[in-house]
Amino acid sequence: MNDLPQNTALSAEIDRFFARFQHHCPDPQTEFDAEWPSPCEQGTHWVDDQGVARIRWQPQQRQAPYLDFANLEAALEFPLHDDIKTHYGRYWAANIGAHAEEGDLTLLYLWNQTDVDRLIENLIGHAVACRNNRTPFAVFFAVAEPDSEYFLTINNTSGAVQLEAPGKKPLRTLAPDLATFMAGLQPGWIHD
């Protein structure tokens, strides 16, 4: 059985953010895809007025066995920062828009096991790009909105939250750690 890293401050902030999200958006919905099931899905799907299949969902706190990063860490040949593991390992959820002091962003979450597999593939590719560009390894956890090329990362060494652009060194540090950053977020909208 895999253990979820015990960053209790971050776990508590993530739980508080999802509580704010559920208060702000008590009945979230997303497009339904029979080939993309999730533990988050609630009830049965329906077709809306525009002919789009929809389903209600709720964030689901993960239970043991937790998301295992051991194979990824072996492929990378270094450990992932516990904040990265906690962010991606604590809940199943759809991507959620949020408001930060610096502007709007979309928090990236994992919807299902296939999403986990894609994340791991992306992180391996990202690590190779970081080595080639001689930039520090940091893991993306959010994208800036609207239609921005910028994304937010967790520095794998320090745990600092950074603003980055593809292929470049971090532009600036937004918070010393993810718990501090999450404490200032207000949930906004849901992304399909």
pLDDT of residue 65: 63
3-class DSSP state for residue 67?
A: coil
What CA–CA distance (Å, rounded) separates 30 from 47? 11
Which position has the higher pLDDT, 122 or 65? 122
Q: Exposed e or buried b for every residue in 14-27, given b needs 16+ CB within 10 A?
A: beebbeebeeebee
pLDDT of residue 1: 39
pLDDT in tens, 70-106: 888 998 889 999 999 999 999 999 999 999 988 999 9
15-24, 27-36, 59-68, 148-157: lowest mean pLDDT where?
A: 59-68
Instruction: Say yes or no to pLDDT of 137 above 80.
Output: yes
Do 59 and 65 touch, CB atoms closer than 8 A?
no
What CA–CA distance (Å, rounded) separates 181 from 172? 14
pLDDT in tens, 41-80: 999 999 999 999 999 999 999 986 677 888 889 988 899 9
